[in-house]
């Protein structure tokens, strides 16, 4: 079953093409990371999923229906788009209660979601006095109100402290393990590497990659074989590919670890280390989105 299906989704604002012909699926039971440089069209795509913005052409469906066609939307899909878009004068409890009441959700569920996000103790405080992290937690509580199968989070760890980041990561993993669909945007690559199973990467509104995290990293050419040997100077010229000395070991690109091992064995040379070093998600992302960065700083 597909939770979210975008088909040729396109959004123009005047002359600006925010989202261009995007086709992808977001599946349940896993965390799907939504990546792309500033202005790539991530928030616009999420707003269209939630019916907050109309596609110029194409469509996006939730279990086959548009958001407007959902009978009880909050029970189907919950979202945190902008944690600051709340009434600061209300208490956390009243904010959630108002949302619950207008959507046929019980007051008991408000208590539950406050507990889930760890805001029970400050439930009676005005939101205006909340820290960034407390605001994010409140936004997640609101998204969880209808106990939805599908959750959308736009940069949920933005501004959170390390404890908060760890909490959000664990929470998303748990939601996916429960079989829910989790679609989350972020600019924190090391965090996404630990949180997401699958990635949808866009640039300038267009699809760059739709792949599992490992598969996406595999698209990068930044990986290398790290070779340690007391006979490096004899080994290096025998290796195909490019070998560069880094400290006491070689970094070899263009060959597999197996090929290096076999070359060494044939020449009767000793190996102390032979490891394929994968690029980080950050390195892969930087390489693969290079042509799609809209707002690039010029190096001093
Ligand atoms: N309401 C709007 N009116 C005009 N242009 C808009 C509007 N909303 C978004 N855009 C434009 O659409 C493009 C995509 O913006 P969007 O906010 O979707 O990007 P994003 O991927 O979420 O970026 P970020 O990582 O900075 O949050 C940008 O060029 C932006 O300026
Ligand atoms: Mg955005």
Query: End of a domain among 218, 238, 264?
Result: 218
Least confident of 68-77, 86-95, 221-230, 265-274: 86-95
The closest alpha carbon to 285, from 187, 164, 179, belongs to: 187
Backbone angles phi, psi at 150, to 5 degrees: -120, 135
Write out pLDDT tens, residues 28-87: 999 999 999 999 999 999 999 999 999 999 999 999 999 999 988 999 999 999 877 777
Question: Over pLDDT 90: what percentage of the chain?
Answer: 82
**Exposure pattern of 198-209 as b/e (b: 16+ CB <10 Å)?**
bbbbbbbbebbb
Residue at 257 is within a domain = yes
To the question of pTM greater than 0.85 for the whole model, the response is yes
Looking from the CA of residue 53, the nearest atom of ligand 1 is 1
Q: Which residues contact 131 (CB under 8 A, 6 or more apart)?
A: none
Mean pLDDT computed over 141-154 = 96
Provide the domain limits for residue 258: 224-277
Residue at 297 is within a domain = no
Joined together, the tokens standing for residue 233 give: 């100077």
- pLDDT at 300 (0 to 100): 44
Ligand 1 binding site (Cβ under 6 Å of any ligand atom): 13, 16, 18, 36, 38-44
Cα-to-centroid distance, 11 and ligand 2 (Å): 14
* Contact assessment for residue 240 and residue 255, using Cβ atoms and an 8 Å cutoff: yes
Distances (CA, A) of 65 to 7, 48, 51, 60, 200: 13, 13, 11, 8, 21
Q: Which ligand is nearest to the CA of 81?
A: 2
Backbone angles phi, psi at 31, to 5 degrees: -90, 125
Mean pLDDT computed over 109-115 = 97
Mean pLDDT computed over 256-266 = 95
- pLDDT at 218 (0 to 100): 87
Query: For residue 250, what pLDDT band results from cuts at 50, 70 and 90?
Result: very high
User: Do 211 and 239 have their domain in common?
Assistant: no
User: Do 186 and 78 have their domain in common?
Assistant: yes
Contacts 24+ apart (CB under 8 A), 242-251: 249/273, 250/226, 251/224, 251/225, 251/226, 251/227, 251/277
Q: Which ligand is nearest to the CA of 14?
A: 1
Mean pLDDT computed over 158-187 = 94
The CATH number assigned to the domain holding 181 equals: 3.40.50.300
Cα-to-centroid distance, 18 and ligand 1 (Å): 6
Q: Which residues contact 174 (CB under 8 A, 6 or more apart)?
A: none
Q: Count how many Cα atoms sit within 13 Å of the Cα of residue 263 in the half-sphere of its side chain.
A: 20
Lookup result for tokens 């975008």: 6
CB 183: neighbour CB atoms within 10 A? 26
Cα-to-centroid distance, 167 and ligand 1 (Å): 28
User: Do 193 and 256 have their domain in common?
Assistant: no
Cα-to-centroid distance, 36 and ligand 2 (Å): 9
- The residue whose C-alpha atom lies closest to atom 6 belonging to ligand 1 is 13
Mean pLDDT computed over 235-251 = 91
User: Do 210 and 268 have their domain in common?
Assistant: no
Is residue 91 classed exposed, middle or buried when 0-12, 13-18 and 19+ CB atoms within 10 A define those classes? Answer: middle
Q: Find the length of the chain.
A: 300
- The residue whose C-alpha atom lies closest to atom 1 belonging to ligand 1 is 13
- Measured between its terminal Cα atoms, the distance across the chain in Å is 50
User: Do 207 and 248 have their domain in common?
Assistant: no
**How many domains is the chain built from?**
2
User: Do 80 and 203 have their domain in common?
Assistant: yes
Cα-to-centroid distance, 188 and ligand 2 (Å): 13
Looking from the CA of residue 43, the nearest atom of ligand 1 is 22
Query: End of a domain among 218, 240, 259?
Result: 218
- For residue 91, the 8-state DSSP code is B
User: Do 169 and 238 have their domain in common?
Assistant: no
Looking from the CA of residue 202, the nearest atom of ligand 1 is 21
User: Do 85 and 161 have their domain in common?
Assistant: yes
Residue at 260 is within a domain = yes
User: Do 166 and 22 have their domain in common?
Assistant: yes
* Contact assessment for residue 200 and residue 210, using Cβ atoms and an 8 Å cutoff: yes
Q: At what angle do helices 107-116 and 132-144 cross, to 10 degrees?
A: 130
Query: For residue 296, what pLDDT band results from cuts at 50, 70 and 90?
Result: low
Dihedral-angle region of residue 62 (phi above 0 means left; psi in -120 to 50 means alpha; beta otherwise): beta
């Amino acid at each position: 079953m597909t939770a979210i299906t975008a088909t040729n989704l396109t959004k123009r604002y005047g002359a600006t093409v925010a989202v261009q012909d995007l086709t992808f699926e977001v599946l349940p039971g896993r965390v799907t990371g939504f990546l792309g440089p500033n202005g790539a069209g991530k928030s616009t795509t999420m707003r269209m999923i939630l019916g907050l913005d109309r596609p110029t052409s194409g469509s996006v469906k939730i279990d086959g229906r548009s958001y407007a066609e959902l009978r009880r939307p909050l029970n189907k899909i919950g979202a945190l788009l902008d944690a600051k878009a709340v009434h600061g004068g209300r208490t956390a409890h009243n904010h959630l209660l108002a949302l619950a009441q207008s959507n046929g959700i019980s007051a008991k569920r408000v208590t539950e979601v406050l507990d889930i996000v760890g805001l029970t103790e400050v439930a009676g405080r005005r939101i205006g006095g909340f820290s960034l992290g407390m605001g994010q937690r409140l936004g997640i509580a609101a998204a969880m109100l209808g106990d939805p199968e599908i959750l959308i989070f736009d940069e949920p760890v933005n501004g959170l402290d390390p404890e908060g980041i760890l909490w959000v990561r664990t929470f998303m993993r748990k939601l996916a393990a429960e079989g829910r669909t989790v679609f989350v945007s972020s600019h924190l690559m090391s965090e996404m590497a630990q949180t997401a199973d699958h990635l949808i990467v866009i640039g300038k509104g267009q699809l760059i990659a739709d792949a599992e995290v490992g598969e996406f990293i595999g698209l990068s050419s930044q990986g290398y074989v790290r070779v340690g040997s007391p006979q490096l100077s004899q080994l290096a010229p025998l290796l195909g590919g490019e070998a560069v000395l880094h400290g006491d070991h070689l970094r070899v690109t263009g060959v597999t670890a197996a090929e290096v091992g076999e070359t060494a064995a044939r020449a009767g040379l000793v190996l102390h280390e032979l490891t394929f070093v994968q690029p980080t998600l950050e390195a892969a992302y930087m390489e693969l989105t290079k042509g799609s960065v809209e707002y690039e700083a010029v190096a001093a």
